[in-house]
């Protein structure tokens, strides 16, 4: 079960606000040309993963090896008179394919309409025949010669991180869609990056309205007592997943409700997934990558119905795949969205050439990938699998590999989504450049992104930031310092505490021991002048008001991911109204500037956003539910927790207990409101 380890190496479960509608890189840190020249901002990639390894040999019979096919599969081969010729122009060539009868309608229709490219003999040079390992390999962008643990990120996540390098798991301004949405039953490695779960939303159901109702009603304490086991790692991932989906849940529902479907889909899991994706796109979603999943392809036993090889389990799978893809493509056409979408279908490997003793097939090597869409350059790429050339286990010899799977994906990333060569080499960082840059023209040349419009990863400017603030309730005007009761009494968590809150921040900041005079954790955000979030970081607060780097205890906190533009600093605490420092700072000033909001009421945006105590200004206590308003809802939380100890948002004076002194702080501040712009992102 080592496979579970990757589940903790991902992002905040949401992926970014999609393309920039012409905004330059100084807005969101992505290298984007003006849309008047390079208008590719509405393009979407849909990935359909066939989990379990589709038997492409029975799905598309290599007719130039018909004799070997019937010899090696005496009980399960599809009779020649039941096969449908895929392409009459290829009869007699080494690309002549006979389609399984279950593909003779929808799948064949898509090909005949010039909407499909079939890339044969795909895979990687050293096959791994474990489902879990091979799935991880193909979603991490590596091959069988590299340990899965050597690459913790998925290639989709790396691509999106390069494309939107300043994204931190929350919407940017008016760009309010996640960059990626996964449909299906399990979290997926492909979107993972090392920053915590922040690049995709995973939806296990295909009823977004009902899904929204469920996650909106989540309440109670976060999952605790997570065991130190593989199961525990998965449970920890799901805990993060449930909380972080709240960031986009309302938007997902709004888009779903605004969309519609015109075509009828199969009543199947895959049909529902593709139907939902089409409805999202019709409703205005700008999500860049959708991923659907259909399992059940591991047909070791009873692949066909005894006595009739054209029907059975595999036939049913192919029928559903064919009908679902056809309905999806027709729906996009009817909705006027077909020019926006390219779909790619793949499986982790193929099956053996020989049948087994259970009327099925076992794990093989090379397979086929299918690229579908209005802008697809149709046809067949690569030769048929040679059924007379097997390895010692009866699978296609690995030397038959014609097209490395990474060449297919990288071709689509460049020609469909505009990745430069440098971006591709970053995305597939452990792959020989000859494979990554081996363009397979599955996108029509006239529709491929112009090379002058490619985006290239931009290196961030590293800098350090100082900041000073005081928290009401924690601050003692007699000493001019804040108390350190939480740290002194062992109540402070060693991991940053803002994930299971309205802030939905899932950074990995943690510490093994607290520096002297530590008060609490605070959340710092860096904003553009247009109030778009550039970066987020949880930091420690010292009793003299200075922020500290959790790793070093230094009062100059390192900040990465910034780009050459002025920015502002917002500060949030678990139980205080958040504030935004009014003045901008340039990256050049970042190493020397010292924002201090303790000396002036007008140092932050808005009116009366700080409270004056004997000439010193402090952040206002009482926003227990973190929505920017101090009202009866906060009181209700305090009341339920009255006399409780431990680390709680209701402990407004940090003495380790919720009591009447905290009530008095709330009472004195009730009806106070935070600046709407500062707290708008918290209204999930």
Q: State the DSSP H helix or E strand holding residue 412, giving kind and residue range, or none if neither.
A: helix 405-415
24 within 8 A of 38, measured Cβ to Cβ: no
- Give the model's pLDDT for residue 528: 81
For the chain, give the mean pLDDT.
Answer: 83
Integer CA distances (angstroms), 132 to 3, 24, 183, 292, 592, in order:
7, 40, 18, 17, 50
The alpha-carbon radius of gyration of the chain (Å, integer) is: 28
* H-type alpha helices, 632-675: 632-641, 660-669
For the CA atoms of 675, 676, 677, 679, the dihedral, rounded to the nearest 10 degrees, stands at 90
Instruction: For residue 78, give the DSSP letter.
Output: P
- Give the model's pLDDT for residue 645: 80
Spell out, as residue ranges, where the chain has pLDDT lower than 70.
1-37, 148-152, 165-175, 184-247, 460, 560-564, 588-591, 681-684
| Parallel/antiparallel/unpaired status of strands 289-294 and 44-50 | parallel
> Residue 354 phi/psi, 5° resolution?
-85, 145
- Give the model's pLDDT for residue 144: 82
- Give the model's pLDDT for residue 35: 40
Nearest to 526 by CA among 500, 559, 558: 559
- Give the model's pLDDT for residue 440: 97
DSSP 528-571: ETTS-EEEEEEEEEETTSBEE-TTT--SSEEEEEE-SS-EEEEE
- Report the C-alpha gap between 103 and 322 in whole angstroms: 6
Q: In the chain, what are the domains? A: 2-31+42-453 (no CATH), 461-682 (2.60.40.4130)
What digits encode the pLDDT tens for the residues 192-212?
443 433 444 545 544 444 443
Residue 99, strand partner residues: 60, 84
- CA 470 from centre of chain: 36
pTM of the entire predicted model? 0.73
682 within 8 A of 673, measured Cβ to Cβ: no
- Give the model's pLDDT for residue 563: 62
What digits encode the pLDDT tens for the residues 106-136?
999 999 999 999 999 999 999 998 888 888 8
Tokens at 534, concatenated: 């550039």
- Report the C-alpha gap between 510 and 496 in whole angstroms: 6
Listed in sequence order, the residues at least 6 apart from 172 whose beta carbon sits closer than 8 Å to its beta carbon are 16, 17, 28, 532, 533
193 within 8 A of 155, measured Cβ to Cβ: no
DSSP 184-233: SSS--GGG--TTBS-S-EEESSS-HHHHHHHHHT--SSPP----SSHHHH
What digits encode the pLDDT tens for the residues 141-177?
988 887 766 666 788 888 887 887 656 556 655 557 8
- Give the model's pLDDT for residue 564: 64
- Give the model's pLDDT for residue 240: 39
- Report the C-alpha gap between 640 and 109 in whole angstroms: 62
């Amino acid at each position: 079960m080592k496979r579970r380890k990757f589940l903790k190496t991902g992002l905040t479960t949401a992926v970014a606000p999609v393309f920039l509608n012409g905004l330059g890189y100084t807005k969101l840190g992505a290298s984007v040309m003006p849309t008047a020249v390079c208008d590719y901002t509405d393009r979407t990639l849909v990935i359909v993963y066939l989990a379990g390894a589709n038997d492409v040999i029975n799905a598309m019979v290599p007719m130039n090896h018909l004799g070997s096919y019937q010899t090696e599969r005496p009980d399960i081969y599809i009779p020649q008179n039941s096969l449908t010729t895929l392409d009459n122009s290829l009869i007699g060539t080494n690309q002549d394919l006979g389609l399984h009868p279950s593909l003779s309608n929808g799948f064949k229709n898509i090909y005949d309409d010039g909407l499909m490219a079939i890339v044969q003999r795909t895979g990687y040079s050293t096959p791994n025949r474990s489902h879990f390992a091979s799935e991880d390999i193909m979603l991490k962008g590596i091959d069988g010669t590299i340990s899965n643990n050597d690459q913790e990120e998925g290639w989709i996540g790396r691509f999106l991180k390069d494309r939107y390098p300043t994204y931190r798991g929350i919407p940017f301004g008016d760009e309010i869609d996640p960059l990626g949405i996964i449909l299906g039953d399990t979290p997926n490695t492909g979107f993972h990056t090392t920053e915590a779960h922040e690049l995709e939303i995973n939806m296990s159901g295909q009823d977004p309205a009902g899904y929204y109702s469920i996650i909106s009603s989540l309440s109670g304490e976060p999952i605790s007592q997570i065991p130190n086991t593989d199961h525990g790692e998965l449970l920890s991932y799901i805990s993060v997943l449930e909380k972080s989906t709240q960031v986009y849940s309302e938007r997902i529902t709004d888009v779903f409700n605004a969309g519609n479907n015109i075509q009828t889909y199969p009543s199947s899991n895959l049909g529902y997934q593709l139907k939902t994706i089409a409805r999202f796109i019709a409703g205005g979603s700008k999500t860049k990558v959708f991923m659907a999943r259909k399992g059940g392809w591991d047909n070791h036993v009873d692949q066909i119905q005894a006595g009739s090889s054209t029907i059975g389990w595999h036939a049913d799978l192919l029928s559903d795949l064919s009908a679902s893809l056809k309905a999806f493509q027709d729906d996009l056409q009817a909705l006027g969205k077909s020019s926006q979408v390219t779909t790619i279908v793949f499986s982790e490997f193929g099956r053996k050439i020989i049948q087994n003793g259970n009327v099925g097939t076992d794990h093989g090597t090379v397979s086929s990938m299918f690229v579908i869409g209005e802008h697809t350059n149709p046809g067949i790429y690569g030769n048929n699998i040679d059924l007379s050339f097997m390895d010692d286990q009866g699978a296609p010899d690995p030397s038959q590999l014609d097209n490395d799977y990474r060449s297919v994906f990288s071709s689509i990333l460049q020609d469909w989504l505009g990745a430069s060569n440098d971006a591709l080499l970053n995305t597939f960082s452990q792959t020989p450049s000859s494979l990554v840059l081996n363009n397979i023209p599955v996108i029509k040349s006239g529709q491929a992104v112009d090379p002058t419009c490619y985006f290239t990863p931009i290196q961030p400017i590293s800098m350090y930031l100082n900041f000073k603030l005081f928290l009401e309730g924690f601050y003692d005007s007699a000493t001019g310092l804040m108390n350190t009761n939480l740290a002194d009494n062992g109540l402070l968590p060693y991991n940053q505490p803002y994930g299971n809150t309205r802030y939905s921040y899932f950074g990995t900041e943690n510490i093994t021991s607290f520096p002297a005079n530590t008060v609490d954790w605070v959340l710092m955000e860096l904003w553009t002048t247009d109030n778009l979030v550039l970066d987020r970081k949880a930091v420690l607060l010292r009793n003299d008001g200075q922020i500290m780097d959790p790793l070093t205890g230094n009062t100059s906190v390192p900040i990465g991911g910034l780009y050459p533009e002025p920015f502002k600093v917002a500060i949030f605490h678990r139980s205080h109204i958040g504030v935004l420092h009014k003045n901008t700072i340039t990256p050049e000033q970042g190493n020397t500037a010292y924002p201090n909001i303790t000396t002036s009421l007008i140092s932050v945006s808005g009116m009366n956003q700080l409270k004056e105590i004997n000439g010193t200004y402090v952040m206002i206590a009482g926003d227990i539910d973190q929505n920017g308003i101090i009202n009866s809802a906060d009181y209700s939380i305090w009341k339920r927790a009255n006399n409780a100890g431990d680390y709680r948002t209701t402990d407004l004076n940090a003495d380790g207990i919720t009591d009447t002194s905290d009530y008095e702080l709330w009472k004195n501040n009730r009806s106070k409101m935070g600046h709407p712009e500062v707290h708008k992102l918290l209204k999930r």
